[in-house]
Amino acid sequence: MSATSHPASASRREDADLPAPADFGVFAAVRWAVARDLRIALRSRAELAVQLLFFVIVVSLFPLSTSPERQLLQTLGPGVLWVAALLAALLSLPRLFAGDLADGTLEQIALSPYPLPALVFGKVLAHWLATGLPLAVLAPLLGLQYALPADTLVVLVGSLLLGTPILSLVGAIGAALTLNTRGGGGLLALLVLPLYAPVLIFGAGSADALRAGLSAAPNLSLLGAGLLVALVGAPFAAAAAVRIALD
């Protein structure tokens, strides 16, 4: 895509000016990265819309592949929504670093005095705000297609709010590792999807537990614990992977 046809890429580089080195703190780095990536994401709203549509279409196709029977849909619903969320995250992950690598911003970021894990975390946060959060907001609407009761919908949204950040965090490691490789999207899927298995289990399991008459709290707590682990570890692993890709 050429710079003239795409306003987002034309002004990408201008956004790359890092804040004045008043303080090289973590928070300044995170704030700067979030603001910049959100600005870029908002400029390419069409792409964000396509991702959401993908999520909607995948979820809407499942009943056609089985049957519109209410009971079956209620059983399948949470799982289908979660698998679709995984795939939608996978679809958006390559753009997390690829654009910045192509126009040299990533190198500039890595050489800056700001801590790279903080900058990577900011980018991941922006990625989640642009892709994960909309999925969670949209989920209740799609849940209605599957005749999910209100309490299940609440739990489902809660599990997505806790779980989709993990998808962005762990996915960032995979996205950084596959930079400059010949594998493409298929390789990213191979690396990341097995690592997503626990998120899928606890996420879809929270709604399942409710349907089985149990409390969803254990599943949600485990998701929260997973989120904490990912928050602590993933930015460092992804930053290491970014440095390796830039070598």
Partner 1 sequence: MNLYRFASPAAFYPVAGFWMPWFAIAAAVCTVVGLYIGFVVAPTDFQQGQAYRIIFIHVPSAWMSMFIWLVMAFWSLLALSMNTRLSAMMAQALAPSGAWMTFIALWTGAFWGRPTWGTYWAWDARMTSELILLFLYFGVIALRNAIDDPRRADRACSVLILVGAVNIPIIYFSVQWWNTLHQGASVSLTAAPTMAATMLAGMLVMSLAAWFYTIAVALVRVRAIILEREQGAAWIDAPDLARRT
Binding site for partner 1 (CB under 8 A): 170, 173, 177-178, 180-183, 187, 190-191, 193-195, 197-198, 201-202, 205, 208-209, 212, 214, 222, 226, 229, 233, 237, 240-241, 244-245, 247
CB of 176 to partner 1, least distance (A): 9
24 CB contacts (<8 Å, ≥6 apart)?
Answer: 113, 114, 115
Distance CA 59, CA 118 (A): 34
CB of 220 to partner 1, least distance (A): 13
DSSP string, 143-185: HHHTT--HHHHHHHHHHHHHHHHHHHHHHHHHHHHTTT-S-HH
Helix (H) / strand (E) element for 92: namely helix 70-92
CB of 185 to partner 1, least distance (A): 12
**Residue 7 or 233 with smaller CB distance to partner 1:** 233
**Residue 25 or 183 with smaller CB distance to partner 1:** 183
**Residue 140 or 198 with smaller CB distance to partner 1:** 198
**Residue 57 or 197 with smaller CB distance to partner 1:** 197
* Rama region for 182: left / alpha / beta (φ>0; ψ in -120 to 50; rest): alpha
CB of 97 to partner 1, least distance (A): 13
**Residue 146 or 196 with smaller CB distance to partner 1:** 196
Distance CA 220, CA 206 (A): 6
Total residues belonging to the chain: 247
CB of 234 to partner 1, least distance (A): 8
